[in-house]
Structure 1
Amino acid sequence: MYCNHTRTTRGVAIVALALLLVGATTAFAGGAAQQPAAAVDFNATGFPITNQPTTLKVFFGLLPEQTVPLNRMTIVRQIQERTNVEIDWVTAPANDMDTRINLMFASGDLPDMFLEGLSVPQAFAYAAQGLVRPIDELLEQYAPTITGFIDTTPGLREVLTSPDGRIYSTFNFGNAYHQDLGNMLYINREWLAAVGREIPTTLDEYYEILQLFKSRDLNGTGSAADQIPLSLVFYTRNVNWSDLGFFGSFGVQMDQGADFFAVENDRVVWEPATEGFKNTIAWLNKLHREGLLDPEAYIQDRGQMQAKGNQVPPIFGSYVSWFSINVAGQNGRFYDIVGPLEGPDGHRMANWHPRAMMNGGRGVIPTSSNKAEIAIRWLDHIYEPEINIQMAYGAFGEGVEKTADGTYRILPPPEGVSAELHRMTASPHHPPMTFPQVLTTEDPQHFQDKDRAKRELFLPYLPVDRALPVFYLTQADQEQFDAIFPDLLSYMQQKWAEWVTNGRIDQEWAEYLRRLDQMGLPQAIAIQQRGLDNLRSR
């Protein structure tokens, strides 16, 4: 999975009044960077970064499969040897980084740098409280690689610059053309041929195929009982293996990166409170009742789904994943991508999250750190494209090969190990990505398949006009939104999983909407609307 990870943001937009930062940034306004501790003998250029060994405390989110300690990985050890900087990794589950970050800021026990976990507006909000420092001057002094990308990539400086004109975080590039389309539905082509069907283009066709997958022995075990027509996980466990792609058949985008807010007829809506959401959940419950959906879909984790997907012979008729191999390993070669499915009312919309192609929020440095210069130099090193591709796939000879013609080739995994698991044990997997912009890579087949699917199947159905842009809120609005939204989200998630597995959405829908209103949904929508209106009035 190449993700800009699978997490719930604390808000699409955060504090916007530049004058709030006057007090917080006065110490940095003169341009003189705070000197690192003399004891480590800092070098402004070249290697090592420090003449004496030093430790940098860095926050990073881990996926469940990342079980090998990061400092045991060859590429991480090589960077440590080159820089003389050892990383003390402060980690949290990738799908729950917010909780850990909130606790750290509340307690004051902060790392030297957040390698991920924050957005540009969130970094600005913490800066307004004096907790995060601007880094633009540090970048100019110590980070030629990062500065080069900012200067030469159209729109990147604008993405990173906060309303006060300062930069508080670095960036991530989508590491593939398809980065903004995480969820894709994969279907077993051999099973399709056996039942005399082609890849579906409508929800009704897909439903009929699922019924056939349930009723016929298609994997040769003598019974259809072991076959699972459709498998997925709940989006809180992995957004890219979830049911989010089905909502577009009922007219809702469900962009988790935007906290499920969208724009409809120039007005902000929260899609979990729409008829499209309701109708999708009812359809998923129908699949669950009829045994067409994995009965463990909303309680299983990634590892459990992968164990099923790797069974021989295959037991999945279809499943949701980033790449086919993520869930099914070697079985992935039997599956083809299904494009957006047309729903009963003619809706056909891709589950699109545009922020994934180019976003900020990386390399955030708290004001409490006295190692900001060291952190920026270490960060700049991992942005170097040749280092970056190894941080994403593994060291040269383990995960990546540089060929004589200058092409970088992703190496196949060891026998019996999936490509995704190998990547997660050989590299940090999802550092800030830069290599796609400047390196010629020989993409593996699953990359090529997904890029082709985007061009041929998904581009006509991107909900461009529905996507909520990134914007900033006033401090008062942000504080009110932060007080309201977490409870709304938690309640919605509870009902979502409950309704798919137990039904009763029709009977309980009115009470659900009443509870959302009672919990502050109208105020949350109004806050987002003001932010959008302010953005459009500039």
Structure 2
Amino acid sequence: MKKYMAGLLSAALVGSTLAACSDNGKPQSEEAKKASDKAAADNVNPTGLPIVKEPITVTLMYPREPAHGDFDKMWFFKEIAKRTNINIKVQAIESAGWEEKKALAFATGDLPDIFFSGLTVKDENMYGPQGLLMNLKPLIDKYGPETKALFDKYPEVRKTFSTPEGSIYTIPTFSDYKRDTVTVRPYINKRWLDNLGLKVPTTLDELYTVLKAFKEKDPNKNGKADEIPFTGLFNGSASIPILSAVGFVDSRHDVIKDKYVYVPIQPGYKEYLIYMNKLYKEGLLDKEYFSQKKEQVLAKEKNLSVGLNGDSGGYTNIGSGNLDQFIILPPLTSSVNSQKMARKQPAYQRWGTFAITNKSKNPEAMLRLVDYLFTLEGSLAMRAGPELGVVSDKAGYEYVTVNGVKTFNTHFEGYPSFYDFRQKQSPVNGPFYNGQTIGDYLTYNDPMQVWLTNLIMSSGSVDVARYPYPEVKFTPQEQEKIASYIDMDSYADQMEAKFIMGETPLSEWDNYIATLKKMGVDDMIKIRQTAYDRWNSVK
């Protein structure tokens, strides 16, 4: 813990000095500060709405996207003021200059009361211990029942956002929409399988048989050998379906039974390399796999020339008239691993990270505000904007029922899309809870989204998903050491490509391992295990 705090004390003195100043910049007496703090706390209703008895005005620094509307006229802020008695004055910073302006605000102490978005892990780790961001843990315990319930439901999120000593400086957007817990979604061409009389593969051996048939048996029935059996992006997600079949859910950093695993030195990883080398050598893996960009992969998918695309994710280029041609490849097993698994997305997003700065005179009210945004009502205001008829009779959402599921029928006349309408009326990217209810509201009446949801859920990947190595906090000394290992990962990347393409024979595996050991892989493993143990000890 002492190591974690090292190097931050001098900046903390600056933060504490700034915090003890009054509006006119003169030092505030301890008695006056206590009286002011008590008055602010007494103005807060402990439960229900409005949040404060007498209206207050607070400042929010926010990264403005080009599609955002005028924050002063935005429906969200007017509605929040009406519901909570909290008037939010937005200091809008164009997203292109956000990092520079944010850094300047922290350096000068010219901070807003709160942030809704735009804070990074580095910001949290630096400005929290310095005292520029408040420790939210005591406030959550007293004023944040929704927040506390979400942290309790997802202890891994609490661990990630807690410091080793138990402080919490930022609160993320929570997201546990079931479909989105799995973001590696390899599409396999079901029509080609049907044309060849093949079943959906469930093992690596079966996948090899399928890919070989895709190459040799003209599955698109055009009389040309123009099919690409397997494509994707090197260092994208295309490797994950193969790696998960041999026991890993990440290509670098995994955790198995609470033990950190550096994947590139594992025997199972060697099996992955042997398999991928076989695919590449036989022309089953796209020859452009190591050089192509996402746009090229999506173009091949759009042309319906791909048998398996390992890098589609949630954004597919498949035309709506061809949706029935693809399904999602289910988790595979292999001769070295009989357990199905998939990579699980943690139940948070950092693009909606909330924080209270040391400038806030109303921290209790600010915590109650973010807690309100985690309710269904508050989350809808942040993410969905106004209902149809509230600001326009031609734009907004209305509730309908589709196949027994309550969802949105969206209207956006005068706007390019419903998302564009929402960004004119609400920040959209801010703290909220993207649970099953809101997920269904926003997706279930969109045929493309319903198709995607059904494919993901029917693939079985959600049921067997597990987390890889989490987002841990390193001490400054650990961080400096970890940064020095960048050459190790570069070497592992280079050798992965060389092994797969056959430029380096797999008989050189032992020499490859020896080189990584010389580069310090054993020390790196110890550092990451220590950081994981510290993360895992947070309660």
Normalising by the residue count of structure 1, what TM-score does the alignment of the two structures yield? 0.69
Opposite residue 287 of structure 1, the aligned amino acid is L
Question: For 1:461-476, what aligned pairs fall within 5 Å after superposition?
Answer: 461-462=464-465, 468=469, 473-476=474-477
Retained in 2: the 8 A contact 1:37–1:370?
A: no
Question: For 1:329-408, what aligned pairs fall within 5 Å after superposition?
Answer: 329-330=319-320, 331-353=322-344, 356-358=346-348, 363=353, 365=355, 383=374, 385-386=376-377, 388-389=379-380, 396=387, 400-403=397-400
CA deviations 1:46-78 (Å, max 9, x no partner) are 89x9999x9854359xxxxxxx82415999954
CA deviations 1:187-239 (Å, max 9, x no partner) are 222211110111111111111111222223333544231x2222222345xxx
Question: For 1:5-44, what aligned pairs fall within 5 Å after superposition?
Answer: 17=4
Tell me the residue number matched to 1:315.
Answer: 305
Q: Residue 249 in 1 paired to residue 245 in 2?
A: yes
Q: Residue 288 in 1 paired to residue 290 in 2?
A: no
Select the residue among 445, 453, 462 that pairs with 2:450. Answer: 445
Retained in 1: the 8 A contact 2:187–2:310?
A: yes
Moved more, 521-530 or 382-391: 382-391
Shift of 1:179: 3.2
- Secondary structure of the equivalent of 2:201? coil
Cα separation, partners in 2 of 1:357 and 1:193, compared to 1, 3 Å: same
Tell me the residue number matched to 1:5.
Answer: none
Q: Residue 525 in 1 paired to residue 507 in 2?
A: no
Alpha-carbon separation, structure 2, partners of 1:33 and 1:361: 30
Select the residue among 246, 253, 260 that pairs with 1:260. Answer: 253
Cα separation, partners in 2 of 1:15 and 1:439, compared to 1, 3 Å: farther
Opposite residue 117 of structure 2, the aligned amino acid is L
Opposite residue 318 of structure 1, the aligned amino acid is L
Retained in 2: the 8 A contact 1:323–1:450?
A: no
Cα separation, partners in 2 of 1:361 and 1:334, compared to 1, 3 Å: closer
Tell me the residue number matched to 2:76.
Answer: 79
CA RMSD of aligned residues (A): 5.2
CA deviations 1:25-57 (Å, max 9, x no partner) are 678899x8988899xxx999789x9999x9854
Retained in 2: the 8 A contact 1:309–1:329?
A: no
Retained in 2: the 8 A contact 1:173–1:359?
A: yes
Opposite residue 445 of structure 1, the aligned amino acid is V
Shift of 1:449: 1.5
Opposite residue 180 of structure 1, the aligned amino acid is T
Retained in 1: the 8 A contact 2:117–2:429?
A: no
Alpha-carbon separation, structure 1, partners of 2:371 and 2:344: 27
CA deviations 1:433-473 (Å, max 9, x no partner) are 5041665835342354245336x4553x4457xx5466655
Alpha-carbon separation, structure 2, partners of 1:15 and 1:308: 53
Alpha-carbon separation, structure 2, partners of 1:458 and 1:472: 27
Cα separation, partners in 2 of 1:129 and 1:199, compared to 1, 3 Å: same
Alpha-carbon separation, structure 2, partners of 1:275 and 1:493: 17
Retained in 1: the 8 A contact 2:274–2:500?
A: yes
Cα separation, partners in 2 of 1:537 and 1:403, compared to 1, 3 Å: closer
Alpha-carbon separation, structure 2, partners of 1:273 and 1:117: 34
Shift of 1:154: 2.7
Retained in 2: the 8 A contact 1:15–1:478?
A: no
Tell me the residue number matched to 2:187.
Answer: 186
CA deviations 1:347-398 (Å, max 9, x no partner) are 44423235x1257795255969789979979866765545645765776566
Retained in 2: the 8 A contact 1:19–1:164?
A: no
Tell me the residue number matched to 1:208.
Answer: 209
Cα separation, partners in 2 of 1:290 and 1:404, compared to 1, 3 Å: closer
Alpha-carbon separation, structure 2, partners of 1:73 and 1:333: 42
Retained in 2: the 8 A contact 1:16–1:163?
A: no
Moved more, 364-373 or 502-511: 364-373
Shift of 1:511: 4.5
Moved more, 197-206 or 496-505: 496-505
Retained in 1: the 8 A contact 2:60–2:89?
A: yes
CA deviations 1:305-342 (Å, max 9, x no partner) are 3333223xx22222235667634242333212221112
- Secondary structure of the equivalent of 1:88? strand
Select the residue among 46, 50, 58 that pairs with 2:62. Answer: 58
Retained in 2: the 8 A contact 1:408–1:441?
A: yes
Cα separation, partners in 2 of 1:247 and 1:104, compared to 1, 3 Å: farther
Alpha-carbon separation, structure 1, partners of 2:281 and 2:72: 48
Tell me the residue number matched to 2:267.
Answer: 275
Cα separation, partners in 2 of 1:153 and 1:462, compared to 1, 3 Å: closer
Query: How many residue pairs end up in the alignment?
Result: 481
Opposite residue 300 of structure 1, the aligned amino acid is Q
Question: Could you list the runs of 5+ residues in structure 1 that have no partner in the other structure?
Answer: 1-13, 61-67
Shift of 1:271: 0.8
Question: For 1:136-215, what aligned pairs fall within 5 Å after superposition?
Answer: 136=137, 148-151=146-149, 154-155=152-153, 158-159=158-159, 160-215=161-216
Tell me the residue number matched to 1:297.
Answer: 289
Cα separation, partners in 2 of 1:388 and 1:326, compared to 1, 3 Å: farther
- Secondary structure of the equivalent of 2:187? strand
Alpha-carbon separation, structure 1, partners of 2:210 and 2:313: 22
Alpha-carbon separation, structure 2, partners of 1:128 and 1:462: 34
Shift of 1:170: 0.5
- Secondary structure of the equivalent of 1:164? coil
Q: Residue 513 in 1 paired to residue 506 in 2?
A: no
Alpha-carbon separation, structure 2, partners of 1:197 and 1:413: 43
Alpha-carbon separation, structure 1, partners of 2:428 and 2:292: 23
Tell me the residue number matched to 1:434.
Answer: 433
Shift of 1:525: 0.8
Opposite residue 402 of structure 1, the aligned amino acid is Y
Cα separation, partners in 2 of 1:396 and 1:504, compared to 1, 3 Å: farther
Question: Could you list the runs of 5+ residues in structure 2 that have no partner in the other structure?
Answer: 26-39, 45-49, 80-86, 389-394
Shift of 1:260: 0.9
Alpha-carbon separation, structure 1, partners of 2:401 and 2:195: 45
Retained in 2: the 8 A contact 1:185–1:319?
A: yes
